């Protein structure tokens, strides 16, 4: 598996296919294989004639594990994506993130707009500006010595998911605590590239995609029918909507 150094952090990635580059940024407690390979996103995009690059965010998958919450500020995680583009000598790319990955994508779009051709924000709606991401109670659930002692239902779900993905629970707890930043309405209102906001209609984590899209000039909202936060990522409506978006963007 190829990797490179973003500052002092080793970042693992995959790079498949040819054509216009699309960078995929996974969600919290996931990794590039779970979020993008097993859901057939990589296959879908490469078969559509795209070059697909997906990284493991710091603290996740095969990338370096850090235990200081300050190391997970969203600006730093977005800069890992910028550094990956530099490493691969890619000037501009379409970027799609899911959940925490969508927050990272939005930050990259604000801080380095010249590097992002278009942005797909999956699994994150208005809570990009009105919420700090997943509740800190998840960090407590990740740190619990006995999973059976976790009473918070959301915490139980994420603890089980983190264990299923064989994640470093201590690193994930630091990530939850360190990546709790929001963008202002003014910041998202200044985004000048094509943006698609895609959220499941049963997602109780992301917030309204229509409300976020209304703040971004020219942005589009996509409802993913009858899908919650965990299931929307691999949905066929999501895939077809993204392919159509990429085909019509300048």
Average pLDDT over residues 221-247: 97
What confidence score (pLDDT) does residue 132 get? 76
Those residues whose C-beta lies under 8 Å from the C-beta of residue 29, and which sit 6 or more positions away, are: 60, 158, 161, 162, 165, 167, 172
Reduce the DSSP state of residue 228 to 3 states and report it: coil
Closest CA to 219 of 191, 182, 181, 242: 191
Encoding tokens for residue 100? 């925490």
Instruction: Give me the sheet containing 50-55, strands edge to edge.
Output: 3-6, 9-16, 50-55, 20-25, 93-98, 116-122, 195-200, 220-224
Alpha carbon of 130 to those of 163, 185, 190, 209: distances in Å?
Answer: 29, 9, 17, 12
Percentage of the chain modeled with pLDDT above 90: 90
The answer to whether the beta carbons of residues 30 and 79 sit under 8 Å apart is: no
Backbone region of residue 89 per phi and psi (left: phi > 0; alpha: psi in -120 to 50; beta: other values): left
Q: Is 218 exposed, middle or buried (0-12, 13-18, 19+ CB in 10 A)?
A: exposed
Secondary structure of 114-159 in HEC code, one letter for each residue: HHEEEEEEECCCCHHHHCCCCCCHHHHHHHCCCHHHCCCHHHHHHH
Do the strands 93-98 and 116-122 form a parallel or antiparallel pair, or are they unpaired?
parallel
Residue spans of the domains in the chain: they are 3-128+181-248
pLDDT 10s digits, 85-143? 999 999 999 999 999 999 999 999 999 999 999 999 999 999 999 987 778 899 999 99
User: Would the pLDDT of 38 be above 90?
Assistant: yes
Beta bridge partners of 4: 11
What confidence score (pLDDT) does residue 250 get? 86
Average predicted confidence (pLDDT) for the chain:
96
d(CA 160, CA 101): 20
Q: What is the pTM of this model?
A: 0.96
Rg of the chain, C-alpha, whole Å:
17
Fold of 3-128+181-248: Rossmann fold (3.40.50)
């Amino acid at each position: 598996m190829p990797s490179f150094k973003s500052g002092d952090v080793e970042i693992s990635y995959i790079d498949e296919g040819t054509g216009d580059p699309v960078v995929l940024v996974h969600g919290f407690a996931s990794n590039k294989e779970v979020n993008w390979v097993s859901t057939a996103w990589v296959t879908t995009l490469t078969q559509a004639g795209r070059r697909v690059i997906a990284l493991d965010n710091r603290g996740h998958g095969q990338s370096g594990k850090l235990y200081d919450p300050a190391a997970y500020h969203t600006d730093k995680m977005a800069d890992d994506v910028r550094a990956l583009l530099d490493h691969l000598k890619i000037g501009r790319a379409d970027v799609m993130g899911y959940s925490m990955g969508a927050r990272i994508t939005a930050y990259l779009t604000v801080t380095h707009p010249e590097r992002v051709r278009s942005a797909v924000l999956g699994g994150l709606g208005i809570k990009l500006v009105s919420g700090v991401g997943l509740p800190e109670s998840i960090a407590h659930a990740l740190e619990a010595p006995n999973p059976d002692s976790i009473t918070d239902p959301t915490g139980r779900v994420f603890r089980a998911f983190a264990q299923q993905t064989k994640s470093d629970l201590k690193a994930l707890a630091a990530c939850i605590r360190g990546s709790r930043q929001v963008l202002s309405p003014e910041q998202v209102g200044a985004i000048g590239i094509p943006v698609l906001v895609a959220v499941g209609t049963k997602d109780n984590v992301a917030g309204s995609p229509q409300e976020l899209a209304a703040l971004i000039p020219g942005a589009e909202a996509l409802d993913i029918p009858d899908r919650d936060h965990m299931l929307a990522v691999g949905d066929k409506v999501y895939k077809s909507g993204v392919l159509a978006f990429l085909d019509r963007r300048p």
